[in-house]
Amino acid sequence: MGLTNQEISIYFCGGLLDVHSFVKTSASRSAESAQSRVNSRAEMEIGRYHWMYPGSKNHQYRPVPTLGDRASPLSSPGCFECCIKCLGGVPYASLVATILCFSGVALFCGCGHVALAGTVAILEQHFSTNTSDHALLSEVIQLMQYVIYGIASFFFLYGIILLAEGFYTTSAVKELHGEFKTTACGRCISGMFVFLTYVLGVAWLGVFGFSAVPVFMFYNIWSTCEVIKSPQTNGTAAVEQICVDIRQYGIIPWNAFPGKICGSALENICNTSEFYMSYHLFIVACAGAGATVIALIHFLMILSSNWAYLKDASKMQAYQDIKAKEEQELQDIQSRSKEQLNSYT
């Protein structure tokens, strides 16, 4: 059966319309499926991030306003709101650890320096009258005093650096200063701080144990003096038989003279201001070393959490880049679909 030219044109136009509707339907379905994949993946990653950091649910990144969008001075927040915003950016954990570290190092260095000088004076006046017998000890104590100067300077700078690192890794500061992006160099520096703080913490454990040695020595001398002052032995002949031999601690050689002090002479040493001051300063220095150990442990926990936060932030940054690429590809697919539709029509 033959068809006229009019019927052929009608069938041909109908076929074009069917192809047009099919291409349009397939393009819309592919766009919807790609958009659903992007949205579902975004929701999963954001939900995981909120689960790991519950406080970030209310976190919003505010874009920097342009010149035309800026509010007038009359509508700007007051001084109270600005103060609250500034206080929200303070890393309080790092601040407490820094104050504790500064206090501990200051107590250890200051009290230890004065106590070492008082110890040398006691040895020269009572236990070792010959200068050559305690010459090595005097040089070691002088070297330790110089080391104390270096420790104080180093930890002053190190505490400030760790406090600055806490400022730049806290989530509150990231909210104040806009969009936050981490780099491999920043994560490497944070990891280096974790390792260095761990090493310093182990070293200060040794310093804390070493600072307990003079406390033990002075405590033995003080307890011996208390026995001499007790009513059971005071005023009797047994007092002169109670002695303290400083040579047994190994700080002066065995040929040092006199090296051993007994009875009333030992009681006079305990009554001097040098002994009283040095004993209590060594106790405070030991407590300062313990406070420094606690501060370094606190810093280690803070740095570890900051490093974990930076690592997770880098993953979120990589995900956002991938999401932006997928959205761009989706837009390209939609634009190509529109071009194909225009070419068919």
Question: What does the alpha-carbon distance between residue 78 and residue 60 come to, in Å, rounded to a whole number?
Answer: 21
Question: CB–CB of 274/86 below 8 Å?
Answer: no
Percentage of residues of the chain with pLDDT beyond 90: 28
pLDDT in tens, 219-252: 999 998 888 888 676 666 677 788 888 888 888 8
Q: Where does the pLDDT of residue 32 fall: very low under 50, low under 70, confident under 90, or very high at 90 and above?
A: low
**Domain coordinates of the chain in residue numbers?**
91-314
If you write DSSP's letter for every residue of 173-193 in order, what string do you get? HHHHTS-----HHHHHHHHHH
- CB neighbour class for 170 (10 Å; exposed up to 12, middle 13-18, buried from 19): buried
Tokens standing for residue 158? 């190190």
Question: What does the alpha-carbon distance between residue 218 and residue 79 come to, in Å, rounded to a whole number?
Answer: 56
Tokens standing for residue 130? 């010959």
Average pLDDT estimate for 310-338: 77
Inter-CA distances, 83 with 80, 90, 170, 257, Å? 5, 11, 17, 67
* Whether the predicted pLDDT of 206 surpasses 90: yes
pLDDT in tens, 156-178: 999 999 988 887 776 544 554 45
Q: Where does the pLDDT of residue 179 fall: very low under 50, low under 70, confident under 90, or very high at 90 and above?
A: low
